[in-house]
Amino acid sequence: MREQYRTPQLTVGDLAPAPVEQFARWFKETADSPAIHEPNAMVVSTAAPDGRPSSRTVLLKHYDEAGFVFYTNYLSRKGAELTANPYVSLLFPWHPLARQVIVTGRAVRTGRDETAAYFRTRPHGSQLGAWASHQSSVIASREELLARYEELAARYPDREQVPVPPEWGGFRVVPETVEFWQGHENRLHDRLRYARVGDGGDGAGTAEWRVERLSP
């Protein structure tokens, strides 16, 4: 199976000065496309200290100049791997638009205030689910999981504030590279990558970037 991508050329002159600005442009176009179901779905790839990789799909919850934020149980496989080895890769697979964005960088935990502020925006059921699921652990049956959930639902009825689980929180991926991939026919794809070359030295962590074109 093979598809010929027929899309406009992507040039360095088309890019925004900083990767987060370019990401915002593409993200808006992706969110406006009826062909994309969850534009904020991304593949998060981590590696254990012995080098064994693992990947899973996670939802992006926030992005800005500081990085890309998602939330998880810190005791989950990805949480444990990122605690031991903070290097991470994010992949946004926007295949219907023949586009991908690949981010590499380091993951740092969000502060508890930021985590709590986001947790309070989650639906009540999702808040309970964060407590019910000991993410990545082995369970005997789905019934065991549902029993935990029902117990929590009785303890915290609807509209009652649910506390943030102590082992639950966010990771902010501080980018070192951000690649924008645009598919073209005959495999002559455009791959333009921002690479961090330093900080602005103003104490605010303002990044400086160079743009590289990669061979497809």
Mean pLDDT over 192-210 rounds to 76
Confidence check: pLDDT of 72 > 80: yes
pLDDT band at 205 (very low <50, low <70, confident <90, very high): low
pLDDT band at 201 (very low <50, low <70, confident <90, very high): very low
pLDDT at 215: 96
Distance CA 89, CA 55 (A): 9
Q: Which helix (H) or strand (E) element contains residue 196? A: strand 190-199
pLDDT at 88: 98
Chain segment 96-106, per-residue pLDDT in tens: 999 999 999 99
Q: Which domains does the chain have, with CATH numbers?
A: 12-120+171-213 (2.30.110.10), 121-160 (no CATH)
Helix (H, G, I), strand (E, B) or coil at 169: strand
How many angstroms from the chain centroid is the CA of residue 186? 30
The residues annotated with a catalytic role in the active site are 187
Alpha helices (H) along 5-161: 19-31, 77-84, 112-119, 124-132, 142-155
pLDDT at 5: 76
pLDDT at 51: 93
**CB 72 within 8 Å of CB 46:** no
Mean pLDDT over 144-164 rounds to 93
Q: For all residues of the chain together, what is the average pLDDT?
A: 93
pLDDT at 8: 86
**CB 170 within 8 Å of CB 71:** yes
**Which pair of structure tokens corresponds to residue 193?**
């990558």
Mean pLDDT over 29-39 rounds to 96
**CB 69 within 8 Å of CB 171:** yes
pLDDT at 204: 45
**CB 47 within 8 Å of CB 56:** no
pLDDT band at 85 (very low <50, low <70, confident <90, very high): very high
pLDDT at 198: 78
pLDDT band at 86 (very low <50, low <70, confident <90, very high): very high
pLDDT band at 3 (very low <50, low <70, confident <90, very high): confident
Amino acid identity of residue 144, one-letter, is E
pLDDT band at 207 (very low <50, low <70, confident <90, very high): confident
